[in-house]
Amino acid sequence: MIVSALETQIRPKPHPAYFIGSGKAKEIGQLARKEDANIIIFDDNLTPSQDRNLSKITKKRIIDRSQLILDIFAQHAQTKQSKLQVELAQLQYNFSRLKGRWTHLSRIEGGIGFRGPGEKQLEIDRRRINDRITHLKSKLVGIERTNETKRKSRKEIFSVILVGYTNAGKSTVLNRLTSSHLYTADQLFATLETTTRAKTLETKERIVISDTIGFIRKIPPYLIASFHATLQEVVYADLLLHVVDISHHKLFEYMDSVSQTLEEIKANHKEIILIFNKIDLLPRNQFLFIKKKLRIDYPDSLFVSARTGENFDDIENSISKMLAQSKKNIILKIPNKEQKFISYLFDNAEILEKRYNNDSVRLRVKIPLEKYAKDFISFRKYEIRSKCTAKRKSRLK
């Protein structure tokens, strides 16, 4: 695709019929014919009526922001899940735009109870699309259940998810951290599905790191709905690595877009390590200047190059530190009659050691701090504290 021309217009609010002014629309149509352009792309979402009106006045095919994103998604979808998600989003997008596609089939009879073939065909298409949407949603629910089963099977393993604006270098970061060879490209939405790799830290702790779909500004709501199964991986993660392209002139705008998306999927409460990537693309003096400014607002952020591997040890060290702070290692002696609490531990904690007695079970567990705090009274009731700890606390009193 070659861009022939770029036009902008500043308005207090979008025109209800054309999004831009009618005069500007005619001007763009004339420019498109002069440049022999066959498509006009709007960097915003258009209503179905605006789409139809612009097509009529410009005599050209109109594509809005959502349709362009969906076209790119369709080109990059490789797995069964991502193909289903893209098809669902496309159908939901096109459903409200069906009406204008049957204007060439006019009513041939008037009066109550008479309908032309255009209206009949529109109803048939709407029913078919609704049936297909229902079918796709059912398939995706099944996939989500499978993903949930996989998550439960690795519930005892610390989960790290890479998030960030599209093309920030998340896949390259994953490749560098896990010695993998995932597909990477300097293009938007090269990754549409979640890819997970295991890693053993220097502390001998085993974790899983996942790469997922890149975020964008002004993300269409139905895209979030369609990719719900994929984005759920972010919601259930223990730690997020927010990767930012430090060389991009819109890095703050992109960071805000990621934060907004995390808020929309209710994952903004997660622990986050901010990683400024692609430092190798900046001249050294410029990088040091930008780093000094960013350190003021983001004192715990990391500065790395996924391409060269510079400062990558900092990421692993930060993950290890966060992992150590996220779980509590305790020993519990629980009466056998407390089966509900014992089952809760087996479902929600990592069981390091277990020993059964006549009337109780002794467990050494590693429990996430949030779960420990949630049921603090029960844990303190059955927790076995060492004599040294008890003496130390008594001296402090």
pTM of the model: 0.68
Predicted pLDDT of residue 226: 59
Amino acid at 347: D
Instruction: Please give the backbone phi and psi of residue 116, each rounded to the nearest 5 degrees, phi first.
Output: -80, 170
Q: What is the DSSP string of 298-321?
A: -TT-EE--TTT-TTHHHHHHHHHH
d(CA 295, CA 309): 21
pLDDT interval class at 182 (50, 70, 90): low
Q: Which of 19-33, 143-157, 241-255 has the lowest mean pLDDT?
A: 143-157
- Fold match flag (156-324 vs 327-396): no
pLDDT per residue as tens digits for the range 251-294: 999 999 899 888 888 888 888 999 999 999 999 999 999 999 99
pLDDT-wise least confident of 211-225, 257-271, 315-329 = 211-225
Q: Which of 148-152, 226-230, 318-322 has the lowest mean pLDDT?
A: 226-230
Do residues 108 and 116 lie in contact, with contact meaning Cβ atoms separated by under 8 Å?
yes
Higher pLDDT, 306 or 166: 306
pLDDT band at 105 (very low <50, low <70, confident <90, very high): very low
219-224: long-range pairs with CB below 8 Å, 24+: 219/257, 219/261, 219/264, 220/45, 220/65, 220/66, 220/69, 220/89, 220/93, 222/89, 222/92, 222/93, 223/66, 223/69, 223/70, 223/89, 224/261, 224/264, 224/265
Residue pair 332/362 in contact by the 8 Å Cβ criterion: yes
Fold of the 156-324 domain: Rossmann fold (3.40.50)
% residues pLDDT > 90 (the chain): 31
pLDDT in tens, 365-390: 888 777 788 888 888 888 887 544 44
199's tokens: 């890693």
The Cα–Cα gap between 202 and 188 comes to 34
CA nearest neighbour of 320 among 187, 138, 224, 177: 177
- Taking 70 as the threshold, does the pLDDT of residue 117 lie above it? no
- Cα-trace Rg, the chain: 27
327-364 per-position pLDDT tens digit: 788 999 999 999 999 998 888 787 889 999 889 999 99
Specify the higher pLDDT residue, 41 or 129: 41
> What architecture does CATH give domain 327-396?
2-Layer Sandwich (3.30)
pLDDT at 393 over 50: no
Q: What is the dihedral of CA 101, 219, 57, 37, to 10 degrees?
A: -100
Mean pLDDT, the chain, rounded, equals 82
Nearest-angstrom CA–CA distance, 363 and 274:
36
Domains in the chain: boundaries: 1-63, 78-141, 156-324, 327-396
